[in-house]
Structures are given as C-alpha cells and as structure tokens.
C-alpha cells in the first residue's frame, strides 16, 4: 500500500516547479567542456567517496581529461565497485541512465558516453535543461567571483545575470580579515580605501546596498569550513585594535584564534546590515565538502547565541546539519527566525533526509522547511540528478506519514509544494505566484 501512496505522490511532485535554494555558478558560461567520460562523471562530490575508499592519491590521474579512458578504467573500476551504492554514486548512475542512456557502467558503456559528452554551454540549451527538470529559479552564491575587475563589472551591470538566477552575497571574505591585503581585496571592488574600522564598515555597507539594488535576495556564509560557527560578541575596542594592527603595517598578518574577536565583531555588524536591508542569511552547518574535515565545529547548535541576539534576521540553516538532526530540528522549532534548508542533504545521506523530513513534519511548522538545493555548481546535469533523488526522498517521507494517518494525500501534496517552491519563494521574497497542487 505504501508503494502505491509513494507512486501517487511522486508522480504529482515530478510536475511541481522547484526553487533550487543553493548553487555556485551563473548560467552556461562556466559549463564544463567535457573531454573524457570518467573525468566528467566523477566531477563534484563523488570524488570524496572515491578518496574515502582509498583513491586519494589517484584523483589527479582520474580527473585528468587528457588521460585516455582505457588507461583509467582498471583503477576506476576497482574504486567504483567500492563506492557505487552511496548517495553521491547514485548521482553518477542517474546521469548515466537519464542523460546518456547507459544502464550499466563498463568500459564499453563509458566509450559510448565519450562519443556524446554533454555540452550545455549554449544559453538556450542550458535554459531548456533547467526547464525540463522544473527548475524555476536558483539562488546562487557569488563567492567564486574573485577579482576586483569582475566585481566592478557586476556592480556596473556589465556582468549579466540570467533571469532564472538570483544572487546571494557571500560573506566570509568580508569578515575573515587577517591582513592588509584581505582588506584591500574588499575595498578595491568599489575603488575605495579604508584606513580605520568605521571606513571599512562603510565600504561593506555600500557594497551590500548596491547588491541589494541589483537584486540580491540574501547573504550566504560558509565560514564553517575555516572556523567554528560559535560567534562571541566581543567589544568594539578589541576588534578595532586588531584591525588597526594589520592596517598600519601591510607586512603583518593575524593568526587564529588571534583574529577571532575581529572576525566575530564584523560578523555581528553584517547581521545588523542584513536586518536593515531585510535580507535573510544562509549559514553552512553540518557536513563539509571533501574529506578530513572537523565536523564538531559546524554543528548548528553552536550558532545559538547569534540566533538569540539577531532576532530580526531570518537564518536559513543548511544541509540538514548532517549528522546532527536533533539539533537542527530543535533550532527550527524553537526559533521563529530560523528556516531549515535541505540543500545538498539528499545525496549526503538519502535515508537521513527521508527520516529528518518525516520528523520535521511533526515537530516543525512545515512552512519553515526548504526542500531542495542542488549545490552542484557548473554541472547542472548532476544537480538534476540530485533533484530527482530529492523528489524521491520527499515523496517517501510524506508517503510514510500518509500511511500512518498523520495527513491525507492532498495535505501531503501541499506540503511538498511548499517545501519545494512556496516556502523559499516567500523567505527570499522572489515574487513568484504561489503554486497549489
């Protein structure tokens, strides 16, 4: 019976438009120029599983598109057999099956893939691919734009943003100020100079305001990769002393945790700017890309003091806080200014995603859950695979709750529509018309 319920819900939500709550690239200009199938198929997160299975020293070889597939195959096959059942590997399988029409991975099937590697660098083809998979809008982190020239082009409206993308202002570089050069990297984006902390904050405020005028729908902070997300609330004098220390001598730099008071102070200042601009803030919590990361520092519960202090700022907590489900659900239930974002989660741990969504339904107001974010960057075929897995997970979680009698099928479909589209549409003020199943 549950299979019938799942099939009914799954077939319906396949047709729902989706807001992709987190991506890393803008449009077709950055689409990969694939040359070799193994390198194409292991792009993104699957590399982490290969490294975890023992291929760490071999990744440069496997990712080298100039090495013939036949030469790579014996090594790749050995590690594929060790990893082929993970969530990341299922993305590869989906792409093989649904993009290239290949059912089984073998040297022969890879050679067939190599003869027709996907190319979505054409804007029309790129947009058509998004439309085919129901992606109405993507929220895109701009941290990949590095040079002052790129930023000036964007601020001058010379860098065009596709209509289906909305931008997020990437925050870490603004508050991770360890040197004079780090300050210059920010101020040069708008051609200004800063000689003290007040002037630096003015430069940042000016840039954020300009981003908002150009359509930014929020901030995004992924500082969890480099530091813990426990932010203290230091006095201004302590932060100012550290800022002056690096500014008066370009040869100086701060270490860590020496720089923490300045980093923390600036972060809180930027939360006040987010409040004044009316923009939500996305926060990386839980699992990190790659391997050999230290997970304890990214647990969302460490962010509690920020949630308490900045009650007028909406915080969108990422990645299901994997593996800390209980803390993530608690924060969503306990704090009105918290939403829960499932970006990346569905392929980190598909079973966890199903469980935590079913648990979220009975613990957290369902209007506070954002159901999907591809988090895949350039390779949108992999984001489409992730979306298919996300739809499976959402349908399975809701089918379970229908079968227990917690809600009926119509209610389940409304929840799915809200998770996939209506909730992020409202949180980020995207302006789309609400969908009803």
Same domain, residue pair 109 and 178: no
**Residue linked to tokens 């980020």:** 428
Rounded distance between C-alpha atoms, residue 400 and residue 126, angstroms: 36
The radius of gyration computed from the CA coordinates of the chain, to the nearest angstrom, equals 22
DSSP bridge partners of 165? 138
Please, which pLDDT band fits residue 150 given cuts at 50, 70 and 90? low
Write the pLDDT tens digit of every residue in 391-421.
999 999 999 999 999 999 999 999 999 999 9
Same domain, residue pair 297 and 202: yes
Same domain, residue pair 107 and 180: no
Same domain, residue pair 94 and 130: no
Task: Confirm whether 9 is domain-assigned.
Answer: no
Same domain, residue pair 378 and 317: yes
Task: Confirm whether 259 is domain-assigned.
Answer: yes
Query: pTM for the full model?
Result: 0.96
The pLDDT value given to residue 197: 98
Please, which pLDDT band fits residue 181 given cuts at 50, 70 and 90? very high
Same domain, residue pair 87 and 144: no
Same domain, residue pair 108 and 156: no
Q: Of 89, 118, 147, which closes a domain?
A: 118
Domain of 394 in residue numbering reads as 123-427
Same domain, residue pair 158 and 53: no
Q: Of 62, 84, 118, which closes a domain?
A: 118
Task: Confirm whether 410 is domain-assigned.
Answer: yes
Q: Of 118, 144, 172, which closes a domain?
A: 118
Task: Confirm whether 67 is domain-assigned.
Answer: yes
Instruction: Spell 401-418 as b/e; 16+ CB within 10 A means b.
Output: bbeeeebeeebbbbbbbb
Mean pLDDT over all residues of the chain?
A: 94
Residue 96 has pLDDT above 90, yes or no: yes
Same domain, residue pair 78 and 219: no
Contacts of 167 (CB under 8 A, 6+ apart): 26, 139, 140, 142, 161, 211, 214, 215, 216, 217
The pLDDT value given to residue 1: 47
Q: The CATH number of the domain where 159 resides is what?
A: 3.20.20.140
* Contact present, 23 and 139 (Cβ < 8 Å): yes
Number of domains in the chain: 2
Rounded distance between C-alpha atoms, residue 275 and residue 281, angstroms: 9
**Count of Cβ atoms closer than 10 Å to residue 135 Cβ:** 22
Same domain, residue pair 264 and 317: yes
Task: Confirm whether 29 is domain-assigned.
Answer: no
Same domain, residue pair 109 and 128: no
Rounded distance between C-alpha atoms, residue 230 and residue 175, angstroms: 14
The pLDDT value given to residue 214: 85
Same domain, residue pair 325 and 261: yes
Task: Confirm whether 3 is domain-assigned.
Answer: no
Write the pLDDT tens digit of every residue in 74-95.
999 999 999 999 999 999 999 9
* Contact present, 397 and 406 (Cβ < 8 Å): no
* Contact present, 374 and 385 (Cβ < 8 Å): no
């Amino acid at each position: 019976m549950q299979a019938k319920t799942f099939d009914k819900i799954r077939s319906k939500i396949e047709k729902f438009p989706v807001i992709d709550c987190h991506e890393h690239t803008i449009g077709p200009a950055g689409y990969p120029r694939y040359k070799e199938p193994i390198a194409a198929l292991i792009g993104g997160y699957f590399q982490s599983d290969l490294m975890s299975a023992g291929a760490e020293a071999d990744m440069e070889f496997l990712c080298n598109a100039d090495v013939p597939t036949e030469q790579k195959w014996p090594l790749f096959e050995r590690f594929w057999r060790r990893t082929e059942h993970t969530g990341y590997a299922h993305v590869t399988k989906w792409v093989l099956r649904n993009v290239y029409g290949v059912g089984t991975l073998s040297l022969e099937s890879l050679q067939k893939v190599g003869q027709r590697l996907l190319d979505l660098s054409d804007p029309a083809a790129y947009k058509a691919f998004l439309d085919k998979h129901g992606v109405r809008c993507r929220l895109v982190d701009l941290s990949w734009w590095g040079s002052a020239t790129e930023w000036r082009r964007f601020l001058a409206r010379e860098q065009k943003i596709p209509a289906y993308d909305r931008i997020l202002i990437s925050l870490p570089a603004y508050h991770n100020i360890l040197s004079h050069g780090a300050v210059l990297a920010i101020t040069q984006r708008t051609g200004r100079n800063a000689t003290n902390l007040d002037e630096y904050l003015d430069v940042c405020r000016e840039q954020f305001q300009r981003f908002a005028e150009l359509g930014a729908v929020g901030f995004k902070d992924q500082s969890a990769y480099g530091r813990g997300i426990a932010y203290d609330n230091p006095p201004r004098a302590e932060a100012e002393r550290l800022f002056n220390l690096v500014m008066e001598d370009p040869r100086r730099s701060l270490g860590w945790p020496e720089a923490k008071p300045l980093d923390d102070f600036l972060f809180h200042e930027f939360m006040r700017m987010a409040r004044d601009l009316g923009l939500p803030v996305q926060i990386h919590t839980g699992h990190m890309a790659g391997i050999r990361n230290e997970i304890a520092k990214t647990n969302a519960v460490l962010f509690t003091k920020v949630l308490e202090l900045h009650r007028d700022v909406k915080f969108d907590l990422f990645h299901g806080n994997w593996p800390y489900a209980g803390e993530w659900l608690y924060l969503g239930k306990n704090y009105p200014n918290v939403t829960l974002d499932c970006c990346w989660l569905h392929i980190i741990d598909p079973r966890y995603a199903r469980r935590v969504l079913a648990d979220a339904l009975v613990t957290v107001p369902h209007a506070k859950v954002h159901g999907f974010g591809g988090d895949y960057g350039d390779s949108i075929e992999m984001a489409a695979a992730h979306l298919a897995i996300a739809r499976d997970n959402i349908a399975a979680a809701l089918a379970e709750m229908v079968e227990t009698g917690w809600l009926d099928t119509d209610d389940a479909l409304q929840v799915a529509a809200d998770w996939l589209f209506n909730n992020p549409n409202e949180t980020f003020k995207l302006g789309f018309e609400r969908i009803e199943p």
